[in-house]
A = this chain, B = another copy of it.
Amino acid sequence: MENTHEKCLKLAKRIYDLDTNVYQLSGSSLGRTFNGDKDAHISTLATLIYTHPQGHLLRSEIALIGNMARTIHNKSERSRMMTEYNAILKEIEQIPASFGSVDIVDEQLAALNISNLHRQASPDDHLIICIGRTHGSAGTDIGFALADALKINYYDVEIFNQVLERLEAEKDSVADRDNFATKLHELHEALPDTHAKRRISDFNRYHGLPKKDAVFFNQSDLIRDMAKKEDFIVMGRCADVILTNNHIPHISIFITAPFQQRVRRMMEVNHLEFKEACKLLKKLDRQHERYYNFYTGKKWGDAVNYDLCINSACYGIKESVELIERMIDKYPTKK
């Protein structure tokens, strides 16, 4: 304890001295952070560092010195001050629970987040991008254009329904299990036998559920199986939650835009009057919200439920695609 306290006092002195030096070198009479009694300042600073509940106060004091130091005209003096500034920052970081030392990361979420470039990637990982969006935000157009830019597959509710309908049709028309498994195999490109077999039992398992639920669970299984075999973009379907629950890495993005922009776009795309477009949008938002909440227990569109949210009105379709490419480090200039 004695040691930490002494360390804090030493650091406080260094901060005070840095301020004095920066003040002299930058030459501004307003540039000094600590005016008045030197010992009192050092003591206050040491207490701030030691007790640290007000970490943000200490950070602001130091930031102010850093801001001033960057204005020093003489390059070598500036560099000398910034070196000491950075050294002080490093030492503060070593102090338990000082600012910057307690991370917010949720290790489990971070481990599944493919836009987290320093995570431990597995060779089995695929580039899977889950896009949720409000109606009229052009989220679907962005997803489609992104799939094209990245040359990966694109899946939405219509495609899932088509695939599932065909699987059902196949199931009805094919009598023996082996043949059915072979067809599944074809569709999903070399789906391992275990999966195909599980799918068959799954079809039986969900028998008896309300159709809506059966469709949801079948889609969930399809997403989970595909995620083991290919890169793709998936629109909606609560895919982010399904993948997280199955510990499959992905990135989840929510795309939205201000209501007035979405209305404007709805009117243009669907040839609607203003009032009609407003009414339809509100209805679709409510439906979306209920679906997501029903199957995930979470609030649709709340930023805490996605890795990232993008306001498409600030970017447009093309720029949104490029922004996402930069985020996942598939930067256009690198292509």
> Which A residues have a C-beta under 8 Å from some C-beta of B?
28-31, 33, 52-53, 55-57, 59-61, 63-64, 66-67, 70-71, 86, 89, 97, 99-100, 102-106, 109-110, 113, 115-118, 136-138, 140-141, 144-145, 147-148, 151-159, 162, 166, 170, 183, 186-187, 189, 254, 256-259, 261-262, 265, 268-271, 301, 303-319, 322-323, 326-327, 329, 331
| Other-chain contact of A99, B61, B141, B309 (Cβ < 8 Å) | B141
Of all A-B residue pairs in the complex, the 10 with the closest CB atoms, nearest first, are A105-B316, A60-B158, A309-B309, A104-B138, A303-B309, A106-B313, A67-B153, A63-B154, A30-B187, A307-B314
Tell me, in angstroms, the Cα distance from A170 to B29 when the chains sit together. 10
A136 to B: closest C-beta gap in Å: 7
| Other-chain contact of A118, B138, B270, B319 (Cβ < 8 Å) | B319
Tell me, in angstroms, the Cα distance from A153 to B116 when the chains sit together. 26
Tell me, in angstroms, the Cα distance from A304 to B310 when the chains sit together. 8
Which of A53, A269, A311 has most chain B Cβ within 10 Å? A311
Q: A103 to chain B: which residues have CB within 8 Å? A: 138, 265, 316-317
Q: A261 to chain B: which residues have CB within 8 Å? A: 104, 106
Tell me, in angstroms, the Cα distance from A256 to B305 when the chains sit together. 10
| Other-chain contact of A71, B70, B189, B254, B312 (Cβ < 8 Å) | B189
User: Are A102 and B269 CB-contacts (below 8 A) given A63-B144, A117-B322, A308-B308?
Assistant: yes
Check A104 against B158 for contact (C-beta < 8 Å). Answer: no
Check B313 against A105 for contact (C-beta < 8 Å). Answer: yes
Q: A100 to chain B: which residues have CB within 8 Å? A: 141, 144-145, 317
Tell me, in angstroms, the Cα distance from A16 to B259 when the chains sit together. 37
Check A110 against B314 for contact (C-beta < 8 Å). Answer: yes
A34 to B: closest C-beta gap in Å: 11
| Nearest opposing residue in chain B for A254, CB measure | B303
| Other-chain contact of A269, B55, B109, B144, B307 (Cβ < 8 Å) | B55
Q: A254 to chain B: which residues have CB within 8 Å? A: 303, 309
Which of A52, A102, A113, A145 has most chain B Cβ within 10 Å? A102
Tell me, in angstroms, the Cα distance from A201 to B123 when the chains sit together. 64
| Other-chain contact of A158, B56, B89, B309, B314 (Cβ < 8 Å) | B56
A111 to B: closest C-beta gap in Å: 10
| Nearest opposing residue in chain B for A315, CB measure | B116
Q: A113 to chain B: which residues have CB within 8 Å? A: 314-315
Tell me, in angstroms, the Cα distance from A104 to B153 when the chains sit together. 23
Which of A144, A157, A314 has most chain B Cβ within 10 Å? A314
User: Are A59 and B140 CB-contacts (below 8 A) given A100-B317, A104-B257?
Assistant: yes
Q: A99 to chain B: which residues have CB within 8 Å? A: 140-141, 144
Check A183 against B116 for contact (C-beta < 8 Å). Answer: no
Check A97 against B63 for contact (C-beta < 8 Å). Answer: no
Q: A317 to chain B: which residues have CB within 8 Å? A: 100, 103-105
| Nearest opposing residue in chain B for A183, CB measure | B30
Tell me, in angstroms, the Cα distance from A262 to B176 when the chains sit together. 54
